Amino acid sequence: MAYEHDLIANGVSLATRTWPSEHSSRRPVVLLAGTGATARDWDTVADDLCRDRIVHAVNLRGHGTSTWPGRYSIETMAADIIDLLPQLASDLDVIGHSLGGLVACRAAVAADTPIRRLVLEDVGVLHPRHPTAPTRPDGRLDFDWEMVQQIRPEIDAPDTSWTRIVQMITVPTLAISGGETSFVPAEHVRELTESVADGTFTTIDAGHLIHENAPEEFVRAVRAHLDVPHP
């Protein structure tokens, strides 16, 4: 059964939902959700993966019960995760969806990263796009709307450093496209796998929320990538 706890990293508190494993024969895996999503969005996937590994789903800053500091950038979110990961394990794998995947890319190229394998769910190389003002959903939000407003311009007009960051990724990386119904162009996802040192591309036609819309197929693809012999 999963339990929730808070970990301090880079000066903020990150709410973490952990699934212990009675048969943890594989490396732990860390799950990073997309914009506005929380650790609970991973419940179905985590319930399967924890059969043979410890699973940690982490709320990025500005999400859920993690700290809402009012200051947000992908680089700062990555700094949080870079500081957090060694507290979880010395060797681990990371699955990142959307914004969580962009954060994972930065974490994967950090010095002495504990990341050994990476899964990027519907994450592509960032290209400039026509900016559109985000519309705030009605009601109470489980995330800081200021975070959306600060992060969106980074994605609409990405810094040129993103090309270099992707090219620096050396760990085996699986990038999964959501297919034609996703707003992330499949060619951008494929481009990412062609830019990293060891990339694999696949498509699951389930839209942007692959792990929610096609959890069984998603887990099969993830296991095929992560469940390889390691020292």
pLDDT along the chain (231 residues), means of 10: 97 99 92 98 98 98 99 99 98 99 99 98 96 92 98 95 96 98 98 98 99 98 91 52
Question: Which residues, including other chains, have CB under 8 Å from residue 186's CB and lie 6 or more apart?
Answer: 124, 177, 179, 180, 203
Closest CA relative to residue 143, chosen from 74, 31, 65, 212: 65
- Is-contact 77 19, C-beta < 8 A? no
Strands 115-121 and 29-32: unpaired
Contact 77, 105 (CB under 8 A): no
Distance between CA 58 and CA 195 in Å, rounded? 27
| pLDDT given for residue 231 in this prediction | 52
Residue 185 DSSP class: -
Any idea how long the chain is? 231
Q: How many CA atoms lie within 13 A of 201 on its CB side?
A: 18
Helix (H) or strand (E) segment spanning residue 221: helix 215-226
Query: What's the pTM?
Result: 0.97
What distance lies between CA 222 and its chain's CA centroid?
13
How far is Cα of residue 135 from the mean position of the Cα atoms in its chain?
A: 23
Domains located in the chain, CATH noted? 3-226 (3.40.50.1820)
